[in-house]
Amino acid sequence: MRVKALNRDPDGSLIHQHINHPAGDDEEEIFWPSDTDRIRREMEAYAAFGIRGNALARLVIHGEPVPAGRPRFSNGHAFDPKRSRDYKRFVGQEAKMKYHGPLLRNDPLKVDVKVYRHVQRSVSKVERTRRISGEHRPIVKPDASNYLKLIEDALTGIVWEDDNLITDVSCSKYYSDEPRIEVTVTEA
């Protein structure tokens, strides 16, 4: 089966791709609208936050954000909890697919992370509207620093050589109907 998908070129321009899908050998073409919607949402998010061309890297990782968990110890070795480890791997894979620039090294970096969490279903319509509009922000656990640490670790070796290059950080938490993490890297 051939699947028609809309993706982005490394220079940012939109391109159509035909992908041979392993589901079958039919010649039927199916348009994959989720990619189009995802790309449109990313472009709108960049425009909404005033992200200009001076950024060294811009990434939007869709899905419910997961904070870095406390390390566990066994036989004298520390390791990440499974949920954190899986999400870190997911962020790394997404970054490899979306970031096509050089590995950043030898320059101080400024990293801006925006975390968009889902709105709980148990809140009233009025409170939901306040949260979506940004009037009420998440002041509950997990801490913004835990999200930041996971992103720093996940993008090491993909976007930057080592997270010790990061000299300035900003991490903000918001509510949204489209959970995601937005990362912008600029020169410090």
Give per-residue pLDDT as tens, 11-32. Answer: 555 455 444 444 444 444 444 4
Rounded to whole angstroms, how far apart are CA atoms 129 and 124?
9
Lowest mean pLDDT among 5-9, 154-158, 162-166, 179-183: 5-9
Q: What is the largest CA-CA distance in the chain?
A: 56
pLDDT digits 0-9 by tens, 99-146: 988 999 999 999 999 999 999 889 999 999 999 998 999 988 889 999
How many Cα atoms within 13 Å fall on the side-chain side of residue 97? 10
> Measured between alpha carbons, how far apart are the two ends of the chain, in Å?
47
Task: For residue 107, give the amino acid letter.
Answer: D
The residue ranges of DSSP E strands in 63-165, in sequence order, are 72-74, 77-79, 109-117
Question: Cα torsion at 151, 156, 161, 167 (round to 10°)?
Answer: 30
Does the global pTM surpass 0.75? no
Token readout for 43 is 């472009």
Taking CA atoms, 151 is separated from 12, 25, 33, 131, in Å, by 23, 39, 28, 24
Rounded to whole angstroms, how far apart are CA atoms 153 and 158?
10
Q: Which residues pair with 3 in a beta bridge?
A: 19, 30
Please state, for a pLDDT cut of 70, what percent of the chain lies above it: 72
Mean pLDDT of the chain: 79
How many Cα atoms within 13 Å fall on the side-chain side of residue 159? 30
